[in-house]
């Protein structure tokens, strides 16, 4: 099963995708994580992407599409994939369909995490990420046991450069501009489900898991009766 999690920055895509990918043993493909890694390692891709990311703009499509093309061929993607932060526009969505098709895969479900602007701004401003393992915390909603230290690996927690207020506004503008068309694209394909993601992460997680389990039950029922 291949799943896309859509939503604004701060809607909880990353938190939910990490948890879900562990539970289901699916590959978690986050273009944001892959790009941050490339920037950190100063690869050619990282050098090209850095400026766009600092400004809260989208990195050019051909760069991110190239990443996806390679990543979905890896072994851990065989069982299932959770796409987090990709696609971000129609061109990327169409390219994803093409790439998946070439690899005998398809998008099975798109879950849209709906949030209000005040909630995402509060979440993003307080978000802290582990430098070592990438685990996500929040200074109020999900605090680390020891301030500034990761609960899982004792790595140092930091605030992403693009989680500062000015860049957050830019990222939300970009999201608003691109997302309506993206949702329409998946609604027309009848694979689209929206969830209220203003709730606590645990409540949203349970709803996502129920959707995935229902999907799997229906698919195996259909396969048995065929």
Residues with active-site annotation: 13, 88, 127, 160, 171
**86 binds ligand AMP, rule: CB under 6 A:** yes
Angle of helix 44-55 relative to helix 61-71, nearest 10 degrees, comes to: 130
At 146, is the secondary structure helix, strand, or coil? strand
* Binding to ligand AMP in span 101-160, by CB under 6 A: none
24 to each of 4, 58, 217, how far by Cα in Å?
14, 29, 14
Q: Which stretch binds ligand AMP (CB under 6 A): 38-46, 81-89, 145-153, 208-216?
A: 81-89
Strands 127-130 and 157-158: antiparallel
In the list 4, 53, 144, 150, the residue contacting ligand AMP (rule: CB under 6 A) is: 53
The gap from C-alpha 99 to its chain's centroid, in whole angstroms, comes to 18
**How many residues interact with ligand AMP (rule CB under 6 A)?**
17
**31 binds ligand AMP, rule: CB under 6 A:** yes
Length of the chain: 226
**64 binds ligand AMP, rule: CB under 6 A:** yes
* Binding to ligand AMP in span 166-225, by CB under 6 A: 171
**32 binds ligand AMP, rule: CB under 6 A:** yes
At 194, is the secondary structure helix, strand, or coil? strand
């Amino acid at each position: 099963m291949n799943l896309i999690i859509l939503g604004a920055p701060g809607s909880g895509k990353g938190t939910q995708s990490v948890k879900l990918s562990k539970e289901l043993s699916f590959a978690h493909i986050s273009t944001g994580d892959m790009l941050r890694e490339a920037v950190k390692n100063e690869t050619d891709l990282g050098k090209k992407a850095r400026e766009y990311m600092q400004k809260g703009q989208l990195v050019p499509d051909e760069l991110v599409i190239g990443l996806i093309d390679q990543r979905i061929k890896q072994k851990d993607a065989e069982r299932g994939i959770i796409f987090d932060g990709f696609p971000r526009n129609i061109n990327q969505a169409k390219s994803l369909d093409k790439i998946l098709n070439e690899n005998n895969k398809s998008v099975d479900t798109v879950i849209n995490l709906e949030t209000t602007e005040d909630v995402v701004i509060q979440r993003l401003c307080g978000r802290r990420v582990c430098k070592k393992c990438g685990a996500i915390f929040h200074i109020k909603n999900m605090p680390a046991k020891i301030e500034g230290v990761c609960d899982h690996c004792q790595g140092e927690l930091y605030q992403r450069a693009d989680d500062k207020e000015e860049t957050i506004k830019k990222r939300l503008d970009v999201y608003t501009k691109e997302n309506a068309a993206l949702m329409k694209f998946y609604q027309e394909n009848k694979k689209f489900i929206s969830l209220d993601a203003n709730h606590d992460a645990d409540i949203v997680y349970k709803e996502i898991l129920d959707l995935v389990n229902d999907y799997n039950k229906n698919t195996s029922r259909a396969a048995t009766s065929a």
